[in-house]
Structure 1
């Protein structure tokens, strides 16, 4: 029998898919459950208990129809594909599980774990984000390289990675599904984390749609922009000090105006005699 775990992948991961096929020529062995350990790169952190129990009931009646795929490691075997079957077999009280042993590198193991879950849409948005970041960090990939690997657009990768900027409590909302990916995208760009948390809480409480939340964010940004425009710019303390020094020297109003390291000095006079006085002082200082 043969099972193919997903379509639409990048060329990099597509090359791994044949290694997940199980054919009639493969050697299937019974491995004690005690010798197995889960994939350390498994991106999925939450398994649906009801789904596991349903699978366990099926295994009790029919056995494990599809062997899991493992690799040999120190002190046993590591699950590459089939952790749900492994967990359900534990729940059903089996002592062993049918498996096919293959060789994989750490990177392949990590990528396959992502394929098995993302392509079947078993991961929540935060788990996908963490998995993408782990691939980038572990194997020094760029977002562009990762997008090719998983067969997704670069913007898709970037949108998920941005979720990691959310406050921890808001990340939990996304993980539990109380806040959708669309809601998270609407608030992730806000700089003030307290406002992000407050908007997330209100969204959940008031059951705002993504559009409603986007409108609130737009209003907030417009108000912030207005306040910024109305707020007078604070003068550089150094410029203030220079102006004060020049005022004392010339005994008149002096203004220094500058922008991008360029500017001018304005020395005000209030009569012809005042002008003559200032000119004499300036000429005296330049000589």
Structure 2
């Protein structure tokens, strides 16, 4: 039913966050939430402003609409009552498809939940049922952490995933907008993005993005490019020139005079450093005394 999506993001929660059966435990999120099933007027329901999914595939929505016309709504949506209306927690695609199909009522579970639980349920439900892209996940995690004032550690406990995984998603939001858009549009994978983020220069990051899109580079190829950018060939040779004989002689003389290891580095422009090693505080004082005694 769903249209074709990017690699590794369209296989449900297991592909996005690892092993869903062992890692994700939705009951952690909804254990304190009560619910009852009702048929609600569809015009009394409003979308969740904190909905993680920002884009809905039109073709997939049309197909779901047709399925609902033929078979009805098989899985009820989930809402929270708020005064004289209901706020959607989970099932926005079904809600949109029902409106498109012209339905007047929709089956719904009415849950009693806190704002944090609503946000958590919306995120987990979307991750389980649809292929949220990495940026949508990152933005949802960021919103949960900031609006609910919880730590990454606490968040990892709530959704049953390692803190490192949450950190990796949040790091994506530090990438330039062009790269985030490419990731959202499935032009690159999260693996590509995680490699690019290790490059400090934004200009270099965008150059790598262009090469990925134009040449269809694999994640492994991008990792190799990133490694070469971080440690370019001949870096040491270009920044550290072979010491002239005079400096070598001076290094030897100082080492002998101070009775410790002495190192001298010199750049191509003639600037450099003298490094004197010492074993402990007493040795340091000994060396200082020797240097002060030099006339």
TM-score interval (norm. to shorter): 0.7 to 0.9
Q: CA deviation at 1:165?
A: 0.9
1:30 equivalent in alignment to 2:37: no
CA contact (8 A) 1:42 1:113 kept: yes
Output the CA distance in 1 between the equivalents of 2:80 and 2:234.
57
1:149 equivalent in alignment to 2:158: yes
How many equivalent pairs are there? 237
Alignment match, 1:77: 86
Output the CA distance in 1 between the equivalents of 2:102 and 2:237.
65
1:215 equivalent in alignment to 2:200: no
CA contact (8 A) 1:188 1:196 kept: yes
Deviates more, 1:83-92 or 1:221-230: 221-230
Output the CA distance in 2 between the equivalents of 1:230 and 1:171.
35
Larger Rg: 1
Output the CA distance in 1 between the equivalents of 2:100 and 2:117.
28
CA contact (8 A) 1:81 1:116 kept: yes
Cα RMSD, aligned residues only? 3.3
1:127 equivalent in alignment to 2:140: no
Relative to structure 1, the CA distance from residue 48 to residue 19 in structure 2 (aligned partners, 3 Å threshold; closer, same or farther) is: farther
Relative to structure 1, the CA distance from residue 19 to residue 116 in structure 2 (aligned partners, 3 Å threshold; closer, same or farther) is: farther
What secondary structure does 2:171 align onto? helix
Q: CA deviation at 1:98?
A: 2.0
Q: CA deviation at 1:139?
A: 1.9
Q: CA deviation at 1:187?
A: 0.8
What secondary structure does 2:129 align onto? coil
Output the CA distance in 2 between the equivalents of 1:228 and 1:159.
35
Q: CA deviation at 1:140?
A: 2.1
Output the CA distance in 2 between the equivalents of 1:228 and 1:58.
67
Relative to structure 1, the CA distance from residue 19 to residue 98 in structure 2 (aligned partners, 3 Å threshold; closer, same or farther) is: farther
Q: CA deviation at 1:174?
A: 0.4
Equivalent residues in 2 for 1:78-97, closer than 5 Å: 78-97=87-106
**Deviation string, structure 1 residues 45-79 (Cα, Å, up to 9, x no partner):** 11121111111001112222322121111451101
Structure 1: gaps spanning 5 or more residues? 233-255, 268-278, 280-287
Alignment match, 1:248: none
Displacement over 3 Å in runs of 4+: 5-11, 15-22, 256-259
CA contact (8 A) 2:78 2:90 kept: yes
Relative to structure 1, the CA distance from residue 153 to residue 16 in structure 2 (aligned partners, 3 Å threshold; closer, same or farther) is: closer
What secondary structure does 1:39 align onto? coil
Q: CA deviation at 1:133?
A: 1.3
Given the two structures, how large is their TM-score scaled by the length of structure 2? 0.70
Given the two structures, how large is their TM-score scaled by the length of structure 1? 0.72
Output the CA distance in 2 between the equivalents of 1:166 and 1:224.
26
Structure 2: gaps spanning 5 or more residues? 1-12, 14-19, 242-272, 277-283
Output the CA distance in 1 between the equivalents of 2:204 and 2:98.
46
CA contact (8 A) 2:80 2:89 kept: yes
